[in-house]
Structure 1
Amino acid sequence: MRKNTIINYAFICFILLNSYICHGCSVTATIPLIESEKDKLIYDLLVLSLSKTDVNVCLTQLEQVITDARKTRRVEEGSLSLKWSSASNPLEKNLKPIKVPIFKGLLGYRIFVIRKGDQNRFNSIKTLEDLRKLTAGQGYFWGDTKILQTAGIPVVTAAQGRNLWSMLASHRFDYMPLAVHEPWLDLEHRAELQLEVEKNLLLVYPSAMFFYVSTENKVLYDLISSGMERAINDGSYDRLFYQSRMIQAVVERVNLSTRKVIYIYNPLIDTNLLPTNPKYWFPLPSLM
């Protein structure tokens, strides 16, 4: 009878491969729906970091796309366990950040997506004053939007960031500033819109992307924090990060050393709270 019981249990586990019983989940966490290649890399880095702990954490995704503001509310309420967002995002003031930059500061290095045929409009831009003559497109809830507006840069916004691509193609604004790792795969997936990366400019300001959890969720905070530290210290975080298609595109295509850099102030972030150890940052000129 005992043998039959063991066989039956094994069969149930085979059929219910994703069940918490069979996997032995110590902690379960719900994360936002993975919408993009960027999200997929964030997810992979999160899974890697959690694998460095002694706790088996099971992650499940939301089944629908929701706005950044709704993600924040759900984390506050507890129906979403965590989210990732810019450290400059004012929505996150009631959440607790894990202060390890997920993308090693690359969010603060911005290149522009423009319409094909518009490069000549950008060739004469040398200063911030020149840039203020053109209009940027940004997500309404993105923390970076306030940074650009504070710098005096005109901005058109959209509640859903994915709508900005078609808005740019439709001449609703002149360019879309994105982090240096962001535009490449999206451009491939939207080839019909006839967009491209501007060739000469780099907009720079201090920035970081963090994981955020509820202030009440100390267990998950400690797991992510300790796991990221261990992955960074043993080198596995950097190996996954730098070998990803997204970051390889930065190395191969951006030509950072030849771009004209325009620096702007970030009023939404206290740089004294950012880690200073270079292990946390992409090897670029520091603004910290």
Structure 2
Amino acid sequence: MRVSVLFLLFVAQMVAANQEIKLSLSSQLDGGHSFYHELLYESLTDLGYKVSISSPSEHIPQKRVVKMVESGALTLTWLLPTPERDERFVVVPVPLTNGMIGKRILLIPPQLQSQFDAVNSLDELQRSGLVAGLGINWFDVAVWKTNQLPVYLADGEWRSLYRLISTDGKVNYFPRGLNEIVSEAELNPHLAIEQRLMLQYDRDFYFYLSPQAKEYQPIIERALRKAKSSGLLDKIITKHWGRTFQVVDPAKRVVIRLTTPNAKSQNN
């Protein structure tokens, strides 16, 4: 029996070796895409596929990315799951960052640290009046509103929020995923990583495929599940974000848990 199983695995690898998967993916000037590109390339290559990845532009704003995936101009993107996205696109139901994206660290003006020092609970954050900046179509908008936290919504390029964060303006803080915070702080030296808090909700990124690329769904799902079981996913996470745990030290932070609307299991 064991010989038969090994033979079938060998045959599957040989078949995959003769197939090429061509992916058209978005890229960003700040390198926010690099982990997802590498995860796809390495996990699919590990199954024996020949993989080629191209990007139609050096930088594509997220709002345009979603439209390009819908039209088939891009093969897929990575998004937090919502029922609307599950219906609109083809989801690959494997969480991608070990929940890092749902562990939110705040980018703030350094002068506001003393105000955040007084926050130790959701109730205190609500009463502080401090306003979060978020992208207009982000899942986080529903999370912040569910938890009765004030938000400012940026339409178009969400990176414009970096310039709007101030002590007394429209935006006082920008919640970023644990996997995003360090690199973005380094790119925006006028801002600081808030020192004490972590706002946490149970969500993770999924890959969402264009309907035109739905045939890749079972292949990518199999590749990602193997990457999780083999340790490849953890290896790539450590490569990209290992330093983050030293800089941010999430284990020592005050955790404020946020309620999520339309709760969906992430136990895949």
TM-score, normalised to structure 1, is 0.79
Within 5 Å, give how 1:89-238 maps onto structure 2.
90-91=84-85, 93-132=87-126, 133-159=129-155, 160-169=157-166, 171-191=169-189, 194-238=190-234
Q: Which stretch shifts more, 136-145 or 25-34?
A: 25-34
- Return 5+ residue gaps in structure 2 as ranges: 1-17
Aligned residues: 247
- Matches of 1:99 and 1:205 in 2, distance apart? 18
Within 5 Å, give how 1:242-281 maps onto structure 2.
242-244=238-240, 247-271=241-265, 274-275=266-267
- Matches of 2:211 and 2:262 in 1, distance apart? 20
Q: What whole-Å deviation, never above 9, does each CA across 1:52-84 have from its counterpart, x for those lacking one?
A: 223223211121544433322322222211111
Q: Which residue of 2 aligns with 1:71?
A: 65
The question of whether the paired residues in 2 share the 8 Å contact of 1:105 and 1:207 is answered with yes
- Matches of 2:86 and 2:159 in 1, distance apart? 21
Secondary structure class of the residue paired with 2:165? helix
Counterparts in 2 of 1:93 and 1:68: CA distance versus 1, 3 Å: farther
- Matches of 2:56 and 2:19 in 1, distance apart? 18
Q: Which stretch shifts more, 226-235 or 204-213?
A: 226-235
Secondary structure class of the residue paired with 2:159? helix
Higher gyration radius (CA): 1
Determine what percentage of the aligned residue pairs are the same residue. Answer: 23
Matched residue type, 1:175: Y
Counterparts in 2 of 1:158 and 1:212: CA distance versus 1, 3 Å: same
- Matches of 1:173 and 1:227 in 2, distance apart? 40
The question of whether the paired residues in 2 share the 8 Å contact of 1:69 and 1:91 is answered with no
- Return 5+ residue gaps in structure 1 as ranges: 1-23, 277-288
- Matches of 1:90 and 1:64 in 2, distance apart? 28
Q: Which residue of 2 aligns with 1:87?
A: 81
Counterparts in 2 of 1:27 and 1:47: CA distance versus 1, 3 Å: closer
Q: What whole-Å deviation, never above 9, does each CA across 1:201-259 have from its counterpart, x for those lacking one?
A: 11111111011103453321122111112222222221121122xx2232202222222
- Matches of 2:257 and 2:82 in 1, distance apart? 16
- Matches of 1:99 and 1:92 in 2, distance apart? 10
The question of whether the paired residues in 1 share the 8 Å contact of 2:131 and 2:171 is answered with yes
- Matches of 1:68 and 1:90 in 2, distance apart? 17
Within 5 Å, give how 1:43-62 maps onto structure 2.
43-62=37-56
The question of whether the paired residues in 2 share the 8 Å contact of 1:88 and 1:207 is answered with no
The question of whether the paired residues in 2 share the 8 Å contact of 1:111 and 1:177 is answered with yes
Q: Which runs of 4+ in 1 moved over 6 A?
A: none
Q: What whole-Å deviation, never above 9, does each CA across 1:261-280 have from its counterpart, x for those lacking one?
A: 11111114412xx225xxxx
- Matches of 2:236 and 2:64 in 1, distance apart? 30
